[in-house]
Structure 1
Amino acid sequence: MKAAAIELGEAKAKGGMNKGVSILDFILRLLAFFGTLGSAISMGTTNETLPFFTQFIRFRVEYNDLPTFTFFVVANAIVSGYLFLSLPFSIFHIVRSSAQKTRILLVLFDTAMLALLTAGASAAAAIVYLAHKGNVKANWFAICQQFNSFCERISGSLIGSFAGIALFVLIILLSSLALSRR
């Protein structure tokens, strides 16, 4: 009788711990959603126009001039859409903290979305670095001296994406922790 009471107490403690992990998972998903959505919107609306010698000839730069930035926007949009669609599952885990199959499914999709987001952010970070520093050997000139606000916005949009990567790592670790407690 005493052993059954101890097991029941341990099961309740694990259930309470998993509920806390599920609430933290929901909050982290929400933060990652806003970070990736903000990055996609910030990069997708970035452009700048500079006058040349006359007002009729102008230089214009947009995010979609470089396919890497287009990939960045698409990757962040896909990940933010996934995060939005995964929020009901996260709420389900708060209500039923013992659910395992949906948590395993989320860990698999979270890992795939982490890979996609990392690829998009890393590729964009390489181009942002070249935009700031240039590469004389490759004959790539730094454009940030001329297009200052463009470079500030593309650099800023990387912040939300890399924050989303860090949050995804935490989400995967938390989900793995909750699964290992069973």
Structure 2
Amino acid sequence: MDSKSTSHETAVNIPETESTKLKSSSAAPAATVVTTTKAIPHNPKAGLRRGVAIFDFILRLCALVFALAAATTMGTTDETLPLFTQFFQFEASYDDLPAFSYFVVANAIASAYLVLSLPLSIVCIVRPHLVGAKLLLLILDTVMVGFTTAGAAAAAAIVYLAHNGNSTTQWQSICQQFGDFCQRVSGAVVASFLAAFIFIILVVFSALALRRH
């Protein structure tokens, strides 16, 4: 009698434990997110240009004060000598001399230009890399140097004659009689020369700023 052996296969279900979960999760490659921030490089030239533009704005304010003071002082200068009769008086006024009249016009034009140039100077502070605005200011500043220097020089020659006279042409000095008149016109001439000097500084700084571009 043949005996047949039978084999039985039994499947055992092993429950998944916490350790197996950790092993399976550690076996999977971990995805990492790397965020990179790009640092913006500091540009020292931009800071230097902005500093020069701020200094330019301050100089324009100073030049405006001097030019306006020169034009106002000269334009309001008028002195009459007190005499016994009202029908015979000696009077000294700025509009009696063409040099003084030109002086007032030149400094008035310079004052108006400085007022109009202040917004453009502010634009150069906000955007210091602009070349066109700086070039325009350089050209106009050079023109104003000529205006203010010519007006101050012409007025200074008349002031010198008023103080010292001229023995060759028999021109007598009038400052002994018109003391207040001579004092005011002398102060106006000094203020105009200071405005012209500041214009020269503005031209030099504008030229250096354009050269750095």
Structure 1 letter corresponding to 2:137: L
Partner residue of 2:62 out of 31, 35, 46: 31
Residues 51 and 57 of structure 1 are in contact (CA less than 8 Å); yes or no, is this contact kept in structure 2?
no
2:188 is the counterpart of 1:157: yes
- What does 1:96-135 align with in structure 2 at a 5 Å threshold? 96-135=127-166
Q: Return the structure number with greater helix share.
A: 1
Where do 4+ consecutive residues of structure 1 move more than 2 Å? 51-56
Which residue does the alignment assign to 1:141? 172
Which stretch of the first structure deviates more once superposed, 136-145 or 76-85? 136-145
What is the aligned partner in structure 2 of residue 50 from structure 1? Answer: 81
Structure 2: where are the runs of 5+ without partners? 1-38
Deviations 1:42-100 (A, max 9, x none): 00000100034534321111000001000000000001100110001100000000000
Contact 1:46 1:153 (C-alpha < 8 Å) held by counterparts: yes
Please give the alpha-carbon distance, in whole angstroms, between the structure 2 residues aligned to 1:178 and 1:35.
25
CA contact (8 A) 1:110 1:172 kept: yes
The alignment partner of 2:117 has SS state of helix
* TM-score, scaled relative to structure 2: 0.79
Structure 2: distance between partners of 1:138 and 1:97: 56
When normalised by structure 1's length, the TM-score is: 0.92
Contact kept in structure 2, 1:64 and 1:70, CA below 8 Å: yes
1:117 CA drift (Å)? 0.6
**How far apart are 1:22 and its partner, in Å?**
0.2
Query: One-letter code of the match for 1:143?
Result: I
2-structure distance, mates of 1:25, 1:142: 41
Q: Return the index of the structure with the highest Cα Rg.
A: 2
In 1, Cα distance between the equivalents of 2:125 and 2:114?
16
Name the SS for the 1:48 alignment partner: strand
- Partner in structure 2 of residue 16 of structure 1: 47
Matched residues, number? 175
Does the CA contact (< 8 Å) of 1:79 and 1:117 recur in 2? yes
Aligned-pair identity in percent equals: 53
Q: Which has the higher contact order (CA 8 A, sep 6+)?
A: 1
Q: Match of 1:14, as an amino acid? A: K
